[in-house]
A and B are shown apart, each in its own frame.
Chain A
Amino acid sequence: MAGPNEIIHQSMRLKIMAALNVLGPGAALEFTTLRGLIGATDGNLGAHLDTLAGAGYVAIEKRFVGRKPQTRIKATAAGRRAFTEHVAYLREIIDVERT
């Protein structure tokens, strides 16, 4: 059995990846929408996004819509793969317990 992904394992980062993984490849969520979905504060979400971006699991895009700054986040291919593997690991733990 492979081990857990040390980066995604953390609860808030797991939720971030779960939300982003629902989107199609290349699709992004706005920072405020993501914050609402996972119930994080601005600072908390920002810190965890930095960690995920550092690992290459998410891409953060900052742009202006009119005069309003907008931050959009999407999962990278590596991030999706890592999340899928971590979920498989979690399921494996439960399956092993049952058998």
Chain B
Amino acid sequence: MTMEPDDAAQSLSEIAAVERRTRQTLVYGRSSVFFILWGVLLVFGYTFGFAFPEFERRGWFAVFAVGFASAALLGYRRPRLPGRAGWDQPMLFGQLVLYAYGWIILAIVGPLAPRQANAFWPNVFMLGFALAGLWLGRFFLLLGLSVSALTLIGYFWSGPWFGLWMAVVGGGGLIAGGLWLRRLG
């Protein structure tokens, strides 16, 4: 049996498409646990800040500390993806870089009021998701833009319920996104 060059090119194109879809599915599946982790932590952080505003700042430091420690543990305990060695490490370091840049921006623009901070930090991380989505899959882009849009809506129109709004939209959005990614991956 022999093949024509056009058929060979068609086969290679099919292979490339399946490989791309498979890698994306693997990335979706592996990142789902990070989404769920941060979603749960955000629900806790916003609810805690809403209930105990005087301890909100300390609560957020605890949330970030637990989040980064857990993400590091998850990232290092899981086997690496072939052809994408250390995917979980860039994901972890990406989160740390976003966190660092958040503080750099705050050092320039000055301290924020609690309400502003509650809108600022989700947008920093959603910017990361949206940018990652340009390479890793549209789902990340959609999630980042959606949560940012809902954060802005809550910031301007949710009144005194902004903390709870963010618990549902920010934390709940990440949990829902993570569960959806788990289905895909």
Contacts and interface: CB of A to CB of B under 8 A. Distances in A.
Contacts of B4: 93
Interface residues of B, number: 24
Interface stretch (B20-28, B38-46, B47-55): B20-28
A77 B26 CA distance: 21
A90 B8 contact: yes
B22 A19 contact: yes
A97 B22 contact: no
Q: Is the interface of B mostly helix, strand, loop or mixed?
A: helix
Nearest to A86: B11
A80 B3 CA distance: 21
B5 interface: yes
Contact of B1 (A9, A11, A37, A94): A9
Interface in B1-41: 1-5, 8-9, 11-12, 14-15, 18-19, 21-23, 25-26
Given A14-B11, A23-B26, 9 more contacts: A4-B3, A15-B14, A18-B15, A22-B19, A23-B82, A24-B81, A27-B79, A37-B21, A93-B3
